[in-house]
Chain A
């Protein structure tokens, strides 16, 4: 079991993405509500500070002359902390009293520290200036409450959001990892079934444990499906074994009787010839039966469990070497073109060899009087292409689909040997190896090409 998960897989898992998405929404809502509350609270605080300031000026307004006001301001200044409340009175002659200094810059009065008093507020001031008793009174209220308000709101945001983000991300990752493991258990089972290991099932605890949630239900359904498939294949095998036995036994007897008949008849007499012809026909019947059985088994997908790495290049070299002499005997030639590097596919050597043999035999048989046959192998963007081309009459475009069917034969080939199963077997073997089979025009002649995509392996 490959339950080891990488980071990308966990990040891609649905639960984690959902948890993070949800947290994003929660954060946005929190930001909007807290933002509104902050703005409202801040403006009301500012308003109350300003009202407070205005009210304080009333105390100073009772003083009629600069001297009295100076005394009141000085007394107030000594009683106040300049970091909370700044107060200064600028007389007409420029002299100042108060716990801060004020200077006129442009059209504004700027507060600065008075050396005999405590430092200023770090947060700045709300200031109010008013002409009074021939001078100017400047009062400043610290902005500290607003700064506190801001930091309180930030603290609320951080303390309410960060922990829930961490908790839900962790939970999402945990759920995601568990779901991922369960999904990969299902995926592995599906892969096994596709590969022809029909006994593969989703593990029992994955199906049972979680009170019938969706993944458990899918797993259970998959198991039911796999069981049905296994039973069907087993039944099919039993039926073909029975048919094979019931048919083969009489065939065996016929062959036995015919060969005994041949032995009993004197050589080179017409009855002997007849007995020999009958023997040949019996052999043909057996060959057709064999091929049909074989195609049925291949299409059942069972041989996949035995797949191994096969070098298609070396196999093609063996098979073309086997047929080279036969092609020359027929007055033609058989050539092979292949790259030097091995061309590995995941497959069954015997079946691939038989497939290529059928294609070459077809080309020798139907490729015209002096068949020129070219077998080519190449690698194209990860796929391996195997093609067999001849210069014979070819197959009309309309017939190309049909020749892949079992026992279908072109009108003109009914008189030639062959049983109409060659291409059907090629089709079945190609399907088993996930190779695309294509019949095309060689102008003149036929090209049969097979494109191994899924089963092609890097050398």
Chain B
């Protein structure tokens, strides 16, 4: 992917750049708001990562300016604040996702992947698959190797969410937002508990695991 990073803090920028380049992305980096906006309007990118607090021109204004110029490239907004209003403010300005500092690189990477390949027209799919696992969205039935698996409604939604994003890492917060529609961080390992119950039904009775834990990031289902 071709990415743009507008971030003034050198340590954070280095870390993000190194991580993204290791993953094989091409990244342009700018440390100041004004130059960042010029670059954003001039180049073509798959996703832009914009920090909120920037010298010369802040991230909110850049995001608004980009949207005003009818550029629809997905934007991830980075912020140090993370209060109740700030999330809404960033999304209202035209950002597509939002990440509160400090964040783990895995979280950023997972969200970038999600933004670049937003599930489109997938809602018309009636059958989701991963390996020998099949999910019938109409009959709401899950089978593995022809054997029916009995899931609770929430376990079904969780598995569906992972299957629709097959091969891509989904973090705890992404799952909380996507499956439970909650955007705060519980102090208890609720997501882990739900994943482990799902594994007990989907993976444990079979010889090959489909749901994988990605260290320091989240979970991924593989075909």
Contact = CB atoms under 8 A, between A and B. Distances in A.
Interface in B129-165: 154
B190 A323 contact: yes
B84 A350 contact: yes
Which bucket holds chain A's interface residue count?
35 or more
A244 interface: yes
A326 B193 contact: yes
Contact of B84 (A248, A286, A303, A325): A303
A353 B183 CA distance: 9
Contacts of A306: 85, 88
Contacts of A282: 102
Interface stretch (A82-90, A151-159, A160-168, A249-257): A249-257
B197 interface: yes
Contacts of B223: none
A297 B84 contact: yes
Contact of B216 (A259, A318, A329, A422): A259
A325 B101 contact: no
Contacts of A329: 193
Given A248-B101, A253-B12, A303-B84, A417 B190 contact: no
Instruction: Tell me the interface secondary structure of chain B in the complex.
Output: loop
Interface stretch (B65-73, B75-83, B111-119, B202-210): B75-83
B85 A303 contact: yes
A255 B11 CA distance: 10
A218 B216 CA distance: 59
Interface string A222-251: 000000000000000000110011011101
B125 interface: no
A129 B102 CA distance: 121
B9 interface: yes
B182 A353 contact: yes
Given A244-B80, A245-B53, A252 B105 contact: no
Most buried by B among A247, A248, A318: A248
Nearest to A306: B88
Interface of B: 9, 11-12, 15, 53, 80-85, 88, 100-105, 154, 180-190, 193-194, 197, 216
25 contacts: A244-B81, A251-B101, A252-B12, A253-B11, A255-B103, A256-B15, A259-B216, A260-B15, A287-B187, A293-B82, A297-B83, A297-B85, A298-B84, A318-B181, A319-B182, A321-B154, A322-B182, A326-B189, A350-B183, A353-B184, A354-B182, A357-B182, A361-B187, A364-B188, A418-B187
The 9 closest A-B pairs by CB, nearest first: A248-B80, A252-B102, A255-B102, A256-B15, A253-B11, A325-B193, A354-B184, A252-B101, A297-B83
